[in-house]
A and B are shown apart, each in its own frame.
Chain A
Amino acid sequence: MIGAFIDGPLWYFSLTVFLLGVAWRLAGIVRRGVAADLAPARGDAARGALRTIFTRALPRRPVLHGGRVQMIAGYLFHLGLLVLLLFAQPHVDFYAERIAGFGWSTLPHWGFILASEIAFAGLILLWIYRVMNPVTRLLSGFGDHVASLLVFMVMFSGCLALGQSHEALRLLHLFLAELLLLYFPFSSLMHTFTFVLSRGYTGAAMARKGVNA
């Protein structure tokens, strides 16, 4: 009974909350707008925005210094997670059945495992770094810890369900993923989408001022 609830209503509810919540948050940010910059423009804001969105993917050298492990772990985690979220065969099957109605090409199983190894290594390293480093620890609020714990639990339960043979394990994974979806729009996990806005804003503002940043 609880399985049917997790598999049916709760899934659709959390998906709706996720979609509406993300839309609402993004709309809120966009609607606030940007304070008019009255100074004469010294560069093209749009081009600067576009450029910064991509160039910020690599930290500057002074930032990189001393934070190399963090950057490597960050890339491992985010790329691994993205790959296994979008191209793992059980996930694609699920999307095809529940959302899209069609599937797409998937990773071979060994690629899936490799992606999970990479994502786990990154996540654990980042998590330890977060609680170990005084700066990140003080920066992290309760919500951030909930978010990283939820992400870890979702990934971990997914790893436990890799045998794809026990319905209970699949439901546990699905339930935790639903909790994550419910929590997502109201947490710092929104950086998945808002990083474009923040980087774009910075890039636009700087480019308009003629600053090469």
Chain B
Amino acid sequence: MHRLWPGLVLLLCLCSSLNVAGQTGSEGIAVPNPGSELWREVRQRSQPLPPGGQSEAPGLALLQEIRQRRLSEMPVGRSQLAGSGAGAVFINSLGDTWRRLRMERLVPIGGYLLGGALLLVLLFYLIRGRVPIRAGRSQHKLYRYSPYERLIHWFIAFNFILLALSGLILLFGRSLLLPWMGPQLFSAVASASKEGHNLFGPLFLLALALIFLQFVRRNIYQKGDLTWLLRGGGVIGKKHVPSNFFNMGEKTMFWMLILVGGVTALSGLVLLFPLFGQGRELMALSHLAHAVTAIVMITVIIGHIYIGTIGMEGALEGMRTGYCDLNWAREHHDWWAQKCEERGETVSAEDVARARGEVSPAHIAEERGR
């Protein structure tokens, strides 16, 4: 009997290793070894699972249990190191999902979107050129933005540009800047971007709140807005579409800034203060929401900056000086201009220039000359 043992063990070895090697066929010897099968399943998770796998592979059931797939799932395990961030979650499947979304979707698509927006703006400029004030500049101006309104506009603009630049460095820096900057320099730049981004983020939220409170009343959609939209805001065709203080496009931009930008800011807060027990799954989701909304906002703002500066004659003046040209207002914000004229609110351009100190009274000009 004893002499038979080595041969029997050898036979068993063969059977068992075959079994271990992945053949959980029903005719094999069932070896309940949840641990090894668990690890085997973890390793071979990309391979299709056997049909009705649960009865055949006891490890599989366990594996399904320990993989955290959804945010709402409570971790099945326990750990004495619950405070270590990952805690009792054994395998976080969302991590790899987030990685694929970030690296294979967000970075390339976001890059193309932003590059495309810039290209589109350039093409538009080359084709359409600068939108002129057709009637030419008038001798009169309208008071458009109060100092406070201009102040908060430039405040949010300043914050937005800083945040956009630092955020884009963090998102695209590895593919665009790192190769020619080298790891040391780029690390310093990225660290600076991260710290600057973190510090200016809350200021953007503050600015957003101020902008909302100040401009919300003029941005509620009105009757004429649909026609404006249907006629493409005057881009299609030659005639301009009448509108109120803000036109449909501006209103939409405002609401995008408030809603989409609001999501950006709030999801940023989730990422910025990881001290309320939010897990990595929530933070990964917040990061995606943050990045997607930010890219959308940057695209929109590229258009906004284009129209506000080189795209249209007379558009910047309102935000720069507070006064806009009467003819510009007639062409772009017809109803508002009409109302202002009816109330007799037109100001002569000369008065504005003098009030702004652009034209000095004769005796001061003489003084300066000396």
Task: Please report A residues at the B interface, Cβ cutoff 8 Å.
Answer: 69, 113, 116-117, 120-121, 124-125, 128-129, 132-135, 137-138, 156, 159-163, 165-166, 168-169
Return 11 A-B CB contacts under 8 Å, by A number.
A113-B199, A120-B200, A120-B203, A128-B150, A132-B154, A134-B356, A138-B357, A156-B196, A160-B192, A163-B191, A169-B192
Say yes or no: A163-B195 contact (C-beta < 8 A), given A134-B356, A134-B357.
yes
Give complex CA distance A121, B203 in Å.
Answer: 7
Give complex CA distance A160, B198 in Å.
Answer: 10
Inter-chain contact A134/B355, CB cutoff 8 Å = yes
Give complex CA distance A134, B206 in Å.
Answer: 26
Contacts of B187 on A, CB cut-off 8 Å? 166
Q: How far is the CB of B198 from chain A (nearest CB, A)?
A: 8
Inter-chain contact A124/B155, CB cutoff 8 Å = yes
Give complex CA distance A138, B151 in Å.
Answer: 17
Contacts of A137 on B, CB cut-off 8 Å? 357
Contacts of A134 on B, CB cut-off 8 Å? 355-357
Say yes or no: A132-B357 contact (C-beta < 8 A), given A165-B191, A169-B192.
no
Give complex CA distance A69, B195 in Å.
Answer: 27
Give complex CA distance A88, B187 in Å.
Answer: 24
Inter-chain contact B192/A132, CB cutoff 8 Å = no
Q: How far is the CB of B273 from chain A (nearest CB, A)?
A: 10
B127 within 8 A of A: no
Inter-chain contact B158/A128, CB cutoff 8 Å = yes
Name the contact of B150 in the complex, choosing from A120, A132, A135, A161 (C-beta under 8 A).
A132
Inter-chain contact B206/A163, CB cutoff 8 Å = no
Name the contact of B196 in the complex, choosing from A133, A160, A166 (C-beta under 8 A).
A160
Q: Which of B170-199 contact A (CB under 8 A)?
A: 185, 187-188, 191-196, 198-199
Give complex CA distance A177, B200 in Å.
Answer: 21
Most buried by A among B198, B199, B200: B199
Name the contact of B151 in the complex, choosing from A128, A156, A159 (C-beta under 8 A).
A128
Q: Which of B138-183 contact A (CB under 8 A)?
A: 147-148, 150-151, 154-155, 158-159
Inter-chain contact B202/A117, CB cutoff 8 Å = yes
Name the contact of A159 in the complex, choosing from B195, B356, B357 (C-beta under 8 A).
B195
Inter-chain contact B154/A168, CB cutoff 8 Å = no
Inter-chain contact B355/A69, CB cutoff 8 Å = no
Q: How far is the CB of A168 from chain B (nearest CB, A)?
A: 5
- CB closest chain-A residue, reference B191: A163
Inter-chain contact B188/A168, CB cutoff 8 Å = yes
Contacts of A169 on B, CB cut-off 8 Å? 188, 191-192
Inter-chain contact A159/B194, CB cutoff 8 Å = no
Q: How far is the CB of B354 from chain A (nearest CB, A)?
A: 10
Contacts of B185 on A, CB cut-off 8 Å? 168
- CB closest chain-B residue, reference A138: B357
Name the contact of A132 in the complex, choosing from B147, B158, B355 (C-beta under 8 A).
B147
Contacts of A69 on B, CB cut-off 8 Å? 148, 151
Contacts of A132 on B, CB cut-off 8 Å? 147, 150-151, 154
Give complex CA distance A124, B200 in Å.
Answer: 11
Give complex CA distance A154, B159 in Å.
Answer: 17
Give complex CA distance A124, B155 in Å.
Answer: 7
Q: How far is the CB of A75 from chain B (nearest CB, A)?
A: 16
Q: How far is the CB of A203 from chain B (nearest CB, A)?
A: 31
Give complex CA distance A162, B150 in Å.
Answer: 31
Inter-chain contact B206/A129, CB cutoff 8 Å = no
- CB closest chain-B residue, reference A139: B357
Name the contact of B199 in the complex, choosing from A120, A135, A138 (C-beta under 8 A).
A120
Q: How far is the CB of A20 from chain B (nearest CB, A)?
A: 33
- CB closest chain-A residue, reference B319: A132
Inter-chain contact A159/B206, CB cutoff 8 Å = no
Q: How far is the CB of B182 from chain A (nearest CB, A)?
A: 12
Give complex CA distance A128, B194 in Å.
Answer: 25
Give complex CA distance A168, B181 in Å.
Answer: 14
Contacts of A168 on B, CB cut-off 8 Å? 185, 188
Q: How far is the CB of B164 from chain A (nearest CB, A)?
A: 16
